[in-house]
Amino acid sequence: MVGSSSSWSTALVKISPYTFAAIGIAISIGVSVLGAAWGIYITGSSLIGAAVKAPRITSKNLISVIFCEAVAIYGVIVAIILQTKLESVPSSKIYDPESLRAGYAIFASGIIVGFANLVCGLCVGIIGSSCALSDAQNSSLFVKILVIEIFGSALGLFGVIVGIIMSAQATWPSKG
């Protein structure tokens, strides 16, 4: 590339692929846990308040909290998978296209999983809060709203699947 953009593209290309990979792993676990925690507090505060008048709802509605927690577990699993993909390459090959591709693949996988789990955790948390409040008023509503939550938690699963497929692309150049 020529012109003034070449300095930026050169700068980007000269960042070590290990940086991108490490940031990807951090985002995968960090942002997933953010989503899970956000969802758990949204559900939990409503659940505690509603259980004051209707103590029977507590055990059933822990399912909502568990769905939120699952989102964090997805983040951990993908982070562990991603970190096994990190390999050393000799320093002459760090900026090879193959290396860059592997680094970017791990970065993208981390972002995919992290942000999909963030919104999934939020979604499940908000629905779980409504579920607790509705269950306290009328217990036949619980199962119906749970179905909505199940659809919501599928979002995190989509993110994990695509993230794992992306990370399968992360093949570093072989030594020698």
Partner 1 sequence: MYGFEALTFNIHGGFLEAIVRGHRSGLLTAADYNNLSQCETLEDIKMHLSATESVKKMYGFEALTFNIHGGFLEAIVRGHRSGLLTAADYNNLSQCETLEDIKMHLSATEYGPYLQNEPSPLHTTTIVEKCTLKLVDEYKQMLCQATEPLSTFLEYITYGHMIDNVVLIVTGTLHERDVHELLEKCHPLGMFDSIATLAVAQNMRELYRLVLVDTPLAPYFSECITSEDLDDMNIEIMRNTLYKAYLEDFYRFCQKIGGATAEIMSDILAFEADRRAVNITINSIGTELTRDDRRKLYSNFGLLYPYGHEELAISEDIDQVRAVMEKYPPYQSIFSKLSYGESQILDKAFYEEEVKRLCLAFEQQFHYGVFFAYMRLREQEIRNLMWISECVAQNQKSRVHDSVVFIF
Interaction of residue 45 with partner 1, rule CB under 8 A: yes
Report d(CA 153, CA 48) in Å as an integer. 22
Task: Specify whether the CB–CB gap between 65 and 145 falls below 8 A.
Answer: no
Interacting residue with partner 1 among 23, 26, 37, 54 (CB under 8 A): 54
Beta-carbon contacts of residue 39 (< 8 Å; ≥ 6 apart) = 68, 71, 121, 122, 123, 124, 125, 126, 128
Interaction of residue 137 with partner 1, rule CB under 8 A: yes
Report d(CA 31, CA 47) in Å as an integer. 24
Nearer to partner 1, 21 or 42 (CB): 42
Interacting residue with partner 1 among 47, 79, 111, 116 (CB under 8 A): 47
Nearer to partner 1, 15 or 48 (CB): 48
Give me the residues that bind partner 1 (CB under 8 A), please.
38, 41-42, 45-50, 52-54, 122, 126, 129-130, 132-133, 136-137
